[in-house]
């Protein structure tokens, strides 16, 4: 028997790297309610485990020394079998698996203590954990056990009839429900091929970003060393020029000549580092081009860390509310620290002109820039791991142009983008455009994040002349 589960929004079509993002998603899920895992006696979703009814690994809250590594092709049958066993959509299991642990690449424990493939809290695991492989142990670090347990939990929360409510029970945040259902819609329309392709795009992007950060860090260190050697070489040359006695001049010249070789070597190291950075930048540009079209689709945008647009502005960090967060206040003056994983893309927040850009770290601000937006406001970005070479004084930036990558250069604790107005007389997070991205591009750290809802698109005929051409409003 087939059951169609619908979750509200609008239509999304994704195919081979192209996406139509005119509307939000209409979630159309088809699942079988007949279990394909009949060989294992699975616990019901009608009630949780009784105390002591399951066995878990010793120290099950700690990550094991060796973890499973399964690709999308290996995970696909687990999602489908678990979904069939408990009557929930496999696409939702896949989306939760992706968002919670990136298909097992980030299994924690998280800062909140969540563990394993599907990021269960330990007490929740004891109540809903499943021994799905029949080895006598319910293990959250085992992909089969964790995925079947997630399906059971969703079913217990009403996933048979209301998948949105069930996902909310999994993580009590409306932004989380939106993100899971949008990504599930992408997986549902495209099937395993799109799921695998999307994962490959993200892996390639992450690898390219990491390579650029490492290459830029090496170049910055090489240039710092080169400048230090150059200063010493200049002092030695000055000693040669100021020596009064021939013997002193010859001795100084020998020292300067010997140190000149060190300067030559330092410059060679800097040039190799510069070449390596250019190669890494080229790889990143290729990865970004390949991901550009799907990164604008609802669901895929957060995975590929694409830019979020709204009201003439762009949220300055990509990645979505599952990984990007901000607080309503800053520790000592009006500013905002946007927490994000190192390497997250940084975007121009509006059409703007670069007033000042620095690619070598400042002691306090690190790598960053100051820009003047189209409305006259002046913004400073700090602590970047990398700033694009196209960002130079006087350059024009389009809203959403990628300008760099999140880091923690300068005086920073942990990777984040420090954003402030110049002068710092107002809080960026109090700006209407900033708050409009809550629940869509980031989540609040210190307060509930409001529900984000895409306004409906309404099209109307503007005129209907006698010709076959009909004009519509935007």
Q: Is 187 exposed, middle or buried (0-12, 13-18, 19+ CB in 10 A)?
A: buried
3-state secondary structure of 346: strand
| pLDDT grade for 35, boundaries at 50, 70 and 90 | very low
**What pLDDT score was predicted for residue 232?**
83
**What pLDDT score was predicted for residue 467?**
46
- Whether the model clears a pTM of 0.85, i.e. scores above it, the answer is no
Query: In the chain, pLDDT over 90 holds for what percent of residues?
Result: 69
**What pLDDT score was predicted for residue 438?**
95
More confident residue, 364 or 451: 364
- Within 10 A of 128 (CB to CB), how many other CB atoms are there? 22
**What pLDDT score was predicted for residue 30?**
36
| pLDDT grade for 323, boundaries at 50, 70 and 90 | very high
pLDDT in tens, 199-216: 999 999 999 999 999 999
**What pLDDT score was predicted for residue 239?**
79
CA–CA dist 374, 424 (Å, integer): 18
More confident residue, 285 or 256: 285
More confident residue, 14 or 116: 116
| pLDDT grade for 263, boundaries at 50, 70 and 90 | confident
CA–CA dist 430, 420 (Å, integer): 12
**What pLDDT score was predicted for residue 3?**
32
| Across 68-92, average pLDDT | 95
- Within 10 A of 268 (CB to CB), how many other CB atoms are there? 12
Strands 345-347 and 325-326: unpaired
**What pLDDT score was predicted for residue 21?**
28
Task: Return the sign of the alpha-carbon dihedral for residues 121, 124, 126, 130.
Answer: negative
Average confidence score pLDDT of the chain: 86
Q: Can you state the percent helix, strand and coil of the chain, rounding each to 5?
A: 40, 20, 45
* Cis peptide preceding 109, ω within 30 of 0: yes
CA–CA dist 79, 192 (Å, integer): 11
| pLDDT grade for 332, boundaries at 50, 70 and 90 | confident
Q: Is 258 exposed, middle or buried (0-12, 13-18, 19+ CB in 10 A)?
A: exposed
**What pLDDT score was predicted for residue 39?**
62
pLDDT beyond 60 at 356: yes
Most confident stretch, 57-71, 314-328, 445-459: 314-328
More confident residue, 410 or 466: 410
pLDDT in tens, 133-178: 999 999 999 999 999 999 999 999 999 999 999 999 999 999 999 9
367 alpha-carbon distance from chain centroid: 20
pLDDT beyond 80 at 457: no
**What pLDDT score was predicted for residue 57?**
93
pLDDT in tens, 365-414: 999 999 999 999 999 999 999 999 999 999 999 999 999 999 999 999 99
**What pLDDT score was predicted for residue 451?**
66
Min mean pLDDT across 5-9, 227-231, 299-303 is at: 5-9
């Amino acid at each position: 028997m087939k059951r169609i589960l619908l979750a509200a929004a609008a239509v999304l079509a994704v195919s081979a790297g192209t996406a139509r993002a005119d509307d939000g998603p209409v979630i159309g899920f088809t699942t079988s309610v007949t279990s394909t895992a009949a060989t294992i006696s699975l616990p019901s979703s009608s009630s949780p485990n009784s105390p002591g009814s399951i066995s878990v690994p010793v120290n099950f809250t700690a990550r094991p020394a060796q973890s499973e590594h399964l690709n999308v092709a290996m995970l696909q049958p687990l999602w489908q079998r678990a979904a069939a066993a408990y009557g929930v959509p496999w696409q939702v299991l896949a989306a939760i698996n992706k968002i919670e642990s990136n298909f097992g690449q980030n299994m924690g424990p998280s800062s909140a203590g969540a563990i394993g493939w599907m990021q269960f809290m330990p007490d929740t695991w004891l109540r809903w954990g499943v021994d799905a492989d029949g080895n006598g142990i319910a293990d959250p670090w085992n992909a089969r056990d964790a995925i079947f347990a997630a399906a059971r939990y969703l079913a217990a929360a009403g996933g048979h009839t209301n998948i949105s409510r069930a996902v909310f029970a999994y993580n009590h945040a409306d932004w989380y429900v939106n993100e899971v259902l949008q990504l599930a819609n992408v997986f549902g329309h495209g099937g395993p091929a799109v799921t695998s392709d999307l994962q490959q795009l993200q892996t390639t992007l992450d690898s390219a970003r990491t390579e650029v950060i490492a290459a830029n860090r090496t170049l910055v260190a090489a240039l710092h060393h080169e400048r230090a050697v150059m200063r010493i070489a200049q002092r030695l040359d000055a000693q040669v020029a100021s020596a009064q006695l021939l013997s002193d001049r010859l001795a100084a010249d020998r020292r300067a000549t010997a140190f000149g070789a060190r300067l030559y070597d330092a410059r060679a190291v800097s040039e190799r580092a510069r070449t390596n950075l250019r190669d890494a930048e080229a790889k990143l540009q290729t990865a970004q081009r390949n991901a550009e079209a799907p990164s604008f689709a609802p669901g895929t945008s957060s995975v590929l860390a694409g830019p979020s647009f709204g009201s003439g502005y762009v949220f300055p960090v990509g990645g979505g509310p599952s990984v990007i967060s901000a607080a309503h206040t800053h520790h000592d003056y009006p500013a905002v620290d946007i927490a994000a994983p190192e390497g997250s893309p940084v975007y121009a927040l509006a059409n703007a002109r670069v007033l000042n850009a620095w690619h070598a770290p400042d002691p306090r601000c690190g790598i960053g820039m100051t820009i003047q937006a189209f409305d006259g406001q002046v913004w400073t970005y700090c602590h970047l791991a990398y700033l694009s070479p196209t960002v130079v004084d006087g350059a024009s930036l389009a809203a959403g142009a990628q300008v760099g990558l999140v880091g923690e250069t300068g005086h920073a604790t942990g990777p984040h983008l420090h954003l402030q107005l110049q002068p710092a007389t107002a809080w960026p997070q109090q700006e209407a455009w900033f708050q409009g991205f809550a629940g869509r591009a980031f989540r609040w750290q210190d307060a509930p994040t409001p529900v984000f809802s895409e306004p409906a698109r309404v099209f109307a005929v503007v005129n209907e002349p006698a010709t076959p051409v009909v004009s519509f409003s935007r």
